[in-house]
């Protein structure tokens, strides 16, 4: 287990051990031919001229695995994909990062990689939404867009010569993230899928599963059109207009507050992800919602979700779900 340290009593240890053994037996049964450990032989046909890739070696005429993982075959290439590995970026990955530095014409972001990523000003969607060349005024106003410690969502665009990543945020769905929590988990728990942005309408929450292991859980924000301007603007300020401006500013301040119910759901979803990370389960939207329903149906408080009893319940629920899915396939 990683992340949280659980203090289990004797009964909880037995229940958790039984659930993990059930999960292990199910996974070994479905991937008996694909899963390998160190020194396991990989069945190949030497006559086909097999190419040995990462995680394999030649020992006494046999192809042997040097790491634990899953066997992958691409034409004649055979390699082992490790299950627990560091984040290996690919072009098109959806990532979440934190701004470390505002440099000339670029932002430097931490993305849970061996090197920091770079978001160029030219690869950023400007607040006015107009596609134009960036000027010196735009460079001077970079801190009005992003500043240090801001959380940003972006997409991997390309690799630079020094090995660092170049990002882009040319869509309205990318940009600064506010009113939420940033979680850091192991990147191997987040699988690459077609959709990494999720809007949970029932709870009013945006969920971003970053391929780099950074996950954002925050209040849903509607994309506003900055091109729209008010047609009726007072020409001469007077006392009534000042009072209306003050009342409008107060209303805007009230709108910036996140409702208590939304904050509670943000904490519940964040704790559900923490529990999955501790147990080493893959992070998917369906599993997160199942854990959320499990906590609400059983009347478990938000802080109790990080306790030992709830982690055991989640492990037992996952073992039951996987056993049912394997029975349906049969």
What b/e sequence results for 214-234 when a residue is b if at least 16 CB atoms lie within 10 Å of its CB, and e otherwise? Answer: bbbbbbeeeeeeeeeeeeeee
- CATH superfamily ID and name for 85-177: Nucleic acid-binding proteins (2.40.50.140)
What radius of gyration, in Å, describes the C-alpha atoms of the chain?
25
Q: What is the DSSP string of 66-131?
A: SSSEEEEEETTEEEEEESS------TT-EEEEEEEEEETTEEEEE-SSSS-EEEEEEEE--TT---
Tell me if domain 39-83 and domain 85-177 are identical in fold.
yes
pTM for the model: 0.78
Q: What does the pLDDT read at residue 110? A: 94
Distances (CA, A) of 68 to 6, 59, 79, 328: 26, 17, 11, 29
Pairing of strands 56-59, 62-65: antiparallel
* Top-level class of domain 39-83: mainly beta
pLDDT tens digits, residue range 275-289? Answer: 999 988 889 999 999
Dist CA 299 CA 286 (whole Å) = 20
pLDDT tens digits, residue range 139-153? Answer: 898 998 899 999 999
Nearest to 200 by CA among 212, 190, 189, 208: 208
Dist CA 80 CA 57 (whole Å) = 11
Residue 93 contacts residue 190 (beta carbons within 8 Å): no
pLDDT tens digits, residue range 219-265? Answer: 988 765 443 333 333 344 444 444 444 444 545 555 578 889 999 99
Nearest to 174 by CA among 106, 104, 223: 223
Residue 56 contacts residue 66 (beta carbons within 8 Å): yes
Which two tokens mark 199? Answer: 């809007």
pLDDT tens digits, residue range 314-328? Answer: 998 888 888 887 777
Which two tokens mark 241? Answer: 């207009």
44: left (phi over 0), alpha (psi -120 to 50) or beta: beta
Place of tokens 């695995």: 65
DSSP state of 329: H
Q: Which residues of the chain have pLDDT under 70?
A: 1-5, 27-34, 46-47, 128-130, 223-255, 329-330
Could you state, in order of their start, the residue ranges of all structural domains in the chain?
1-26+179-224+256-330, 39-83, 85-177
In percent, the amount of the chain with pLDDT more than 70 equals 83
Q: What does the pLDDT read at residue 160? A: 83
Pairing of strands 165-169, 117-124: parallel
Task: Write phi, then psi, for 63 (nearest 5 degrees).
Answer: -90, 120
């Amino acid at each position: 287990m990683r992340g949280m340290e659980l203090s289990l009593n004797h009964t909880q240890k037995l229940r958790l051990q039984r659930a993990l053994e059930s999960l292990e037996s199910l996974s070994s049964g479905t991937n008996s031919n694909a899963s390998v450990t160190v020194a396991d032989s990989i069945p190949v046909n030497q006559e086909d001229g097999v190419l040995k890739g990462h995680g394999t070696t030649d020992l006494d005429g046999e192809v042997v695995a040097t790491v634990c993982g899953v066997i992958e075959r691409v034409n004649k290439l055979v390699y082992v994909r490790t299950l627990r590995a560091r984040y290996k970026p690919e072009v098109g990955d959806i990532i979440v990062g934190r701004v470390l530095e505002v440099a000339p014409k670029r932002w430097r972001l931490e993305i849970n990689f061996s090197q920091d990523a770079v978001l160029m000003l030219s690869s950023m969607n400007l607040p006015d939404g107009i596609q134009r060349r960036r000027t010196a005024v735009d460079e001077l106003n970079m801190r009005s867009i992003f500043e240090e410690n801001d959380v940003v969502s972006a997409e991997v665009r390309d690799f630079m010569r020094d090995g660092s990543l170049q990002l882009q945020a040319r869509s309205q769905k990318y940009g600064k993230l506010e009113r939420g929590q940033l979680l850091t988990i192991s990147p191997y728990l987040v699988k690459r899928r077609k959709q990494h942005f999720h809007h949970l309408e029932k709870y009013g929450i945006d969920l971003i599963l970053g391929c780099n292991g950074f996950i954002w859980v925050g209040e849903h924000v509607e994309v506003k059109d900055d091109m729209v301007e008010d047609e009726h603007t007072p020409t001469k300020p007077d006392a009534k207009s000042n009072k209306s401006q003050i009342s409008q500013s107060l209303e805007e301040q009230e709108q910036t507050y996140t409702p208590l119910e939304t904050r509670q759901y943000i904490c519940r979803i964040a704790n559900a992800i923490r529990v999955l990370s501790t147990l080493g389960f893959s992070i998917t939207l369906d599993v997160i919602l199942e854990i959320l329903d499990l906590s609400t149906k059983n009347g478990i408080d938000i802080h109790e979700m990080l306790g030992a009893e709830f982690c055991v319940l989640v492990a037992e629920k996952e073992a039951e779900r996987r056993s049912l899915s394997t029975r349906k396939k049969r």
